[in-house]
Amino acid sequence: MSQATQQETVREDGVIQSVSGPVVTARDLDARMNDVVYVGNEGLMGEVIEIEGDLTTIQVYEETSGVGPSEPVENTGEPLTVDLGPGLLDSIYDGVQRPLDVLEEKMNSPYLDRGVDAPGIEMDKKWEFVPTVEEGDTVEAGDVLGTVPETVTIEHKVLVPPTSEGGDVASIEAGEFTVEEVIAELDSGEEITMHQEWPVREARPSATKMTPREPLVSGQRILDGLFPIAKGGTAAIPGPFGSGKTVTQHQLAKYADADIIVYVGCGERGNEMTEVIEDFPELEDPTTGNPLMARTSLIANTSNMPVAARESCIYTGITIAEYYRDMGYDVALMADSTSRWAEAMREISSRLEEMPGEEGYPAYLSARLSEFYERAGYFENINGTEGSVSAIGAVSPPGGDFSEPVTQNTLRIVKTFWALDADLAERRHFPAINWSESYSLYRNQLDPWFVENVRDDWPEERQWAVDILDEEDELQEIVQLVGKDALPEDQQLTLEVARYLREAYLQQNAFHPTDTYCPPEKTYLILTAIHTLNDEAKKALDAGVPVEEIIAIEAAPRLNRIGVQEDYAEYIEDLKAEITEQLRELY
């Protein structure tokens, strides 16, 4: 149990005064803000969100139909906490961290019943603990005491709790332990287990937040190449229905080079989450061949689950992410979709009859969103290791209108913006990320990494591509007015090169076994192949070859097949030679 319960005296229970959807008002409840309470005869879980005189307002994380006045409300006196320890990975939770499979067994149905409680981690399972410190060693809060093989890929570090005073290790032993058994004792008398609890609304402590310098490589060309996110960075993916938010989030969850993935399905339709729940356990990590679930924790709060739990699932997710960060891991958290969370805030706020802000969202919408994204970052942990939490949120603006409050408020906070575009999606240009509207504020600070780890001229090649795409944008306006043939030949050529940039570089098929993941080197080499076409074509043009003949060379369309090549380096080298040869033959 948490410290709060031990310190507090026994609290008085209250009774329900009124119920309005997920909002319940209780009388005579002795409670503080954010206390967790059990509501009604069934003991539904809720959280105190407002106290006025002897009336306490509670948002309830479970369905409240049938719950009525004069039923009891019991206060736990503790804030909403998440259970931390080995067993978080390869797990699927609902919005209040109840493991879905455990609940399924208890309930004998895939639908969660109300008032059923289950711990977030398995309490009976024995874990093989190997100490990394010895008796007599001095340890402080956050220090690693030992390790547990949590999954085939992840070694769980057992940490001294962040709230500990530290001290000398009085006893520690290797062996098989459940998360509740004592694995170490300090000279202060403190007994340490593998189970920690942490209040979800509070960021876990860190030493310093650092400037991120490494990219979170996603294997998606347009992201890594043009709009990279840093490890410890923040990104938003806004887009209308059907533009590819979910596919993009799934691609990141599968291929991003993070150690740990926390995937929060927040208020999305059940079938989308079912897809994740069914697909993910089948998927393999492309680099290790191990099951992807071995590094993944899924939190599924579908649209048919109570709205208030959307908020708790976001906070639960970020707290789990911080916990693995504290072990020195790079964690990536995907939230799909933050709009559904914002809608939950709007619903609760309106039931509280608060003064509405823009489009009915509460005035604190922006503060809540930034509290969430601020917990991302590249950190020096309190134990001296470095770890990161990258936060990537999908936004679903109604009608795809980016001027609405959730998109606008998110834009002010995040540093990477991947704008999905309905027109591109309709033209089957995937990923439908609009290259004129999207941006990454990490681009320059990540360049040194790409220069060192991929190629020296990574930034120059990218700039070349960006310039061509910009030029295409301007030329397209003229083309619309006067037609393509009215353009000078060199500009017609630019349009052709830009077309290859769009088709061979920006487009990428998430459902093709090879194209789905593109290593940064391949991303770079595709650009150089198109650049070769550009340079050789210019030379041919200067030598007097008509643009139609240049465009018609046989080799050029092969650029569009690089994506699906596994032996891309060889293919690209051949292709460049062939393009050069065919163009030089023209003069």
Residues lying near ligand ADP in the complex (CB under 6 A) are found at 239, 241-247, 430-431, 508-511
- Please check if 241 is assigned to a binding site: yes
d(CA 511, CA 439): 25
What are the Cα distances from residue 75, in Å, to 5, 14, 17, 52, 284? 10, 8, 15, 16, 44
- Please check if 225 is assigned to a binding site: no
- Please check if 157 is assigned to a binding site: no
Q: Which is nearer to ligand ADP, 26 or 395 (CB)?
A: 395
DSSP for residue 362? B
Asked whether 96 and 110 are in contact (CB, 8 A), the reply is no
- Please check if 265 is assigned to a binding site: no
d(CA 514, CA 568): 10
Q: Which is nearer to ligand ADP, 111 or 511 (CB)?
A: 511
SS (H, E, C) 221-234: HHHHHHCCCECCCE
CB of 220 to ligand ADP, least distance (A): 8
d(CA 131, CA 108): 39
CB of 563 to ligand ADP, least distance (A): 11
Q: Which is nearer to ligand ADP, 247 or 411 (CB)?
A: 247
CB of 271 to ligand ADP, least distance (A): 11
CB of 357 to ligand ADP, least distance (A): 26
CB of 174 to ligand ADP, least distance (A): 46
CB of 243 to ligand ADP, least distance (A): 4
Q: Which is nearer to ligand ADP, 166 or 519 (CB)?
A: 519
Q: Which is nearer to ligand ADP, 136 or 242 (CB)?
A: 242
d(CA 150, CA 206): 23
Q: Which is nearer to ligand ADP, 66 or 242 (CB)?
A: 242
Q: Is 318 exposed, middle or buried (0-12, 13-18, 19+ CB in 10 A)?
A: buried
Strands 35-39 and 44-52: antiparallel
Q: Which two tokens stand for residue 286?
A: 């492309």
d(CA 557, CA 535): 16
d(CA 478, CA 501): 20
Q: Per DSSP, what are the bridge partners of residue 167?
A: 139
CB of 279 to ligand ADP, least distance (A): 13
Q: Which two tokens stand for residue 553?
A: 């060379």
- Please check if 242 is assigned to a binding site: yes
CB of 538 to ligand ADP, least distance (A): 32
Q: Which is nearer to ligand ADP, 58 or 222 (CB)?
A: 222
Asked whether 334 and 249 are in contact (CB, 8 A), the reply is yes
- Please check if 239 is assigned to a binding site: yes
Q: Which is nearer to ligand ADP, 196 or 220 (CB)?
A: 220
| Side-chain half-sphere exposure of 104, counting CA atoms within 13 A | 7
The DSSP-derived string for 506-564 is: I---TTSTTTT---HHHHHHHHHHHHHHHHHHHHHHHTT--HHHHHT-SSGGGGGGGGG
**Which residue has 């050069």 as its token pair?**
580
Asked whether 537 and 550 are in contact (CB, 8 A), the reply is yes
CB of 214 to ligand ADP, least distance (A): 24
Q: Which is nearer to ligand ADP, 222 or 320 (CB)?
A: 222
Strands 416-417 and 439-440: antiparallel
Residues making up the annotated binding site are 239-246
Residues making up the annotated binding site for ATP are 239-246
